[in-house]
Amino acid sequence: MRVGLHDAERDYLKHKRFPNYALMKISAYHKARGDSVEWWDPITSHTFDLIYSSKIFDFTPENPYLPPSAIRGGTGYPDIPINQTLPPEIDAAFPDYSIYPECDYAIGYITRGCPNRCPWCVVPAKEGGIKPYRAWEQIVRPDTKKLVLMDNNILASEYGILQLESLIGTGYEIDLNQGMDARLVTDRIAGILARLKWIRFIRFSCDQIPQIEAIERAAELLEGYGKKPYNLFIYLLVTKDVENAAYRVERLKRLKGISIYAQAERNDRKGIIPKALQKEFAQRFVYGRCYLKESWEEYLTRHKEKRLQNEKVSTREEARQLAMKRLRQKNKSEYKASFTLTGDTRLVAGVTVEVSGYGAFDGKYIIETATHSVSKSGGYKTDITLRRVLEGY
């Protein structure tokens, strides 16, 4: 039988390097049965007996030339059930790395699933609660010492933690490429993470404000074991509340040398499509490393000023009004503040409060963002960011 494989991301993302785990298993399964396996292409499509297509990301376009008989899978196909899995006989196959000759590492999962239910995440619906999946000895390759793990929340599983611990001293270099939950880092776990060999970074996620303190604490614990913040890499979710993401970046960049990667929220199944500002924040401000030398607010002002240089007026009065408008916009952000307070449900965005006890900074402020969180250690807390209310110009 002649089997064709289609990796939608390989077609679309020209410099994509990451191999498709499911297609590698499908390839291994069919080769073990004596089938011939090749990359599918539309011109010779009719010569294949069976075609598999995998698409991981929502933004990757579908290939219009795939025949209707192609077996499709992956979270990137919105009409495919999110919890679709490989048949057990294919899932049991050891991946065929020969179809991605540039891949010089082993990939796999030690655990699947996650016990949490973050509203923006597909993992709980796709994989269910956390459970053991494989031992690292079943994943590694004989020809490389590199091991990339795609676990979504390995620290939520004692099995996962013990597996990581048993990798210490084996010579394997690892990467946990989905980002760990810093809230689960205890002194014991920091000790394990610090003793592992990392391909490059120790990765954490920071999708919401309450995770900042957890990352700061994890960084402190890791530093106690000799891992400086420049070893850390943070995935940062950018929802339509871009100011919230900007606040997280400002706090995180205080950890010297830390790397940040921002991703605009997108979930086609739920109709969530990122706005231009979210993309600009992720791609230009963070990926373009502007955040290292300026705040998001300064970035926006700088770009607005560039655009303003081209604004035209035809009378003196129009010029005066435009100048007053721009001055007011500039002054609007002159006084900013942020506080972490004992939880108070009355503190919500848009409410004005009186700030006193800070001398020249006293006055009336408007709450721009308010995040309420409850934790075992800290109880109920509210994080607010404020802007001073303007009187005149």
Q: Please, which residues have CB within 8 angstroms of residue 262's CB and are 6 or more apart in sequence?
A: 236, 237, 238, 245, 249, 281, 282, 285, 286, 287
Least distance between ligand SF4 and beta carbon 238 (Å): 14
Single-letter code of the amino acid located at 178: Q
Query: How far apart (Å, rounded) are the C-alpha atoms in residues 130 and 116?
Result: 9
CB-wise, 153 or 157, nearer to ligand SF4?
153
Query: Are the C-beta atoms of residues 318 and 337 closer than 8 Å to each other?
Result: no
Identify the H or E element spanning 175: strand 173-176
Q: What is the number of alpha carbons within 13 Å of residue 346 lying toward its C-beta? A: 2
CB-wise, 12 or 261, nearer to ligand SF4?
261
Query: How far apart (Å, rounded) are the C-alpha atoms in residues 5 and 305?
Result: 50
Q: Choose the stretch contacting ligand SF4; rule: CB under 6 A; options: 112-120, 252-260, 331-339, 375-383.
A: 112-120
Exposure b/e, 243-274, CB count within 10 A at least 16 = b: ebbbbbbbbbeebeebebebbbbbbeeeeeeb
Least distance between ligand SF4 and beta carbon 207 (Å): 6
Q: Is 267 in the site for ligand SF4 (CB under 6 A)?
A: no
Q: Choose the stretch contacting ligand SF4; rule: CB under 6 A; options: 13-21, 111-119, 328-336, 355-363.
A: 111-119
Query: How far apart (Å, rounded) are the C-alpha atoms in residues 375 and 370?
Result: 16
Tokens matching residue 48: 């294949």
Single-letter code of the amino acid located at 49: D
Q: Is 116 in the site for ligand SF4 (CB under 6 A)?
A: yes
Binding to ligand SF4, residues 125-184 (CB under 6 A): 152-153, 181
CB-wise, 201 or 296, nearer to ligand SF4?
201
CA angle centred on 152, ends 224 and 373, rounded to 5° = 70
CB-wise, 129 or 363, nearer to ligand SF4?
129
Least distance between ligand SF4 and beta carbon 146 (Å): 23
CB-wise, 152 or 244, nearer to ligand SF4?
152
Q: Is 274 in the site for ligand SF4 (CB under 6 A)?
A: no
CB-wise, 123 or 139, nearer to ligand SF4?
123
Q: Please, which residues have CB within 8 angstroms of residue 317's CB and are 6 or more apart in sequence?
A: none
Least distance between ligand SF4 and beta carbon 141 (Å): 26
Least distance between ligand SF4 and beta carbon 156 (Å): 8
Q: Is 118 in the site for ligand SF4 (CB under 6 A)?
A: yes
Q: How many residues bind ligand SF4 (CB under 6 A)?
A: 10
Least distance between ligand SF4 and beta carbon 87 (Å): 24
Q: What is residue 283's DSSP assignment?
A: I
Q: Is 75 in the site for ligand SF4 (CB under 6 A)?
A: no
Q: Binding residue for ligand SF4 (CB under 6 A) from 95, 108, 124, 160?
A: 124
CB-wise, 19 or 124, nearer to ligand SF4?
124
Query: How far apart (Å, rounded) are the C-alpha atoms in residues 343 and 375?
Result: 11
Q: Binding residue for ligand SF4 (CB under 6 A) from 28, 123, 148, 218?
A: 123
Binding-site ranges for ligand SF4 (CB under 6 A) = 114, 116-118, 121, 123-124, 152-153, 181
